[in-house]
Structure 1
Amino acid sequence: MAEPIRPAASLDGATVRFAERTVGPLDLIVLPGTITAIVGASGSGKSTALNLLAGLRTPDAGRAAPGAASRVSMVFQSPTLMPWANALSNVALPLELAGTPREEARARALDQLVAVGLGDRANALPRELSGGMAMRCALARALVTAPDLLLLDEPFAALDSVTRVRLIDLVTQAWAKSPGLAVVLVTHDVHDAARLAQRVLVLDPRGAVAADVGGARPSRHGGPIDPERARETADRVSAALAAAMEPAA
Structure 2
Amino acid sequence: MLVTLTDVGHRFDGRPFLFEHLTVRLDPGRVYALTGPSGSGKSTLLGMLAGWIAPSAGSIDRTDVDSIGWIFQNPHGVPRRTALDHVALPFIARGESRFTADTEAQQLLLRFGLKHAMDRQFRALSGGEGQRLMLARGIAAAPDLLLVDEPTAQLDVHTASTVSDALANIATAGTIIVVATHDARTRDACTDIIDLGAIS
| TM-score, scaled to structure 1 | 0.65
Cα deviations by residue, 1:69-117 (Å, 9 ceiling, x for unpaired)? 45543322111223343322222333444x4245143442233223223
Counterpart residue number, 1:124: 120
Counterpart of 1:241? none
Within the alignment, does 1:189 sit opposite 2:169 as a pair? no
Aligned to 1:174: 170
CA shift digits 1:38-91 (9 cap, x unpaired):
212222210111222233444455322223445543322111223343322222
Q: Structure 2, unaligned stretches of length 5 or more?
A: none
Q: One-letter code of the match for 1:192?
A: T
Cα offsets for 1:123-175 (capped at 9, x unmatched): 32222011111111111101113444432211022233343333233222232
Q: Which residue of structure 2 lines up, in the alignment, with residue 229 of structure 1?
A: none
Report 1:75-154 matches (<5 A).
75-97=71-93, 99-101=94-96, 103=98, 104-154=100-150
Displacement of 1:29: 1.9
**Aligned residues with identical type, % of pairs:** 34
Q: 1:172-224 deviations in whole A, cap 9, x for unaligned? A: 2232xx3454332211123432x2234322224xxxx51xxxxxxxxxxxxxx
Using a 3 Å threshold, how does the CA distance of structure 1 residues 114 and 46 change in structure 2: closer, same or farther?
A: same
Counterpart-to-counterpart distance in 2, 1:30 and 1:55: 15
Q: Which amino acid aligns with 1:114?
A: L
- 8 A contact 2:80–2:123 mirrored in 1: no
Cα distance in 2 between the residues matched to 1:200 and 1:106: 34
SS at match of 1:184: strand
Query: Could you say which structure has the greater relative contact order, defined with CA pairs below 8 angstroms and 6 or more residues apart?
Result: 2
Answer with 74-83 or 159-168: which moved more: 159-168
The count of residues paired between Structure 1 and Structure 2 equals 197
Asked whether the equivalents of residues 161 and 185 of structure 2 are also in contact (C-alpha less than 8 Å), the reply is: no
Q: Match of 1:199?
A: 192
Distance 1:124 1:188 in 2: 30
CA distance in structure 2 between the aligned counterparts of 1:131 and 1:20, rounded to whole angstroms: 39
One-letter code of the match for 2:137? Answer: R
CA distance in 1, matches of 2:34, 2:170: 20
Q: CA RMSD in A?
A: 3.0
TM-score (norm 2): 0.78
Look up the equivalent residue of 2:105 and give its one-letter code. A
Any gaps of 5 or more consecutive residues in structure 1?
A: 1-5, 211-243, 245-249
8 A contact 1:10–1:53 mirrored in 2: no
CA distance in 1, matches of 2:103, 2:144: 21
Question: 1:55 and 1:94 mapped to 2: Cα distance?
Answer: 23
Q: What secondary structure does 1:174 align onto?
A: coil
* Aligned equivalents of 1:68, 1:196: Cα separation in 2: 27
- In structure 2, the CA distance between the partners of 1:198 and 1:154, relative to structure 1 (3 Å rule), is same
Question: Tell me, what secondary structure is at the counterpart of 1:200?
Answer: strand
Q: Give, in whole Å, the separation in 2 of the partners of 1:140 and 1:197.
A: 16
**Contact in 1 for aligned 2:127/2:159 (Cα 8 Å):** no
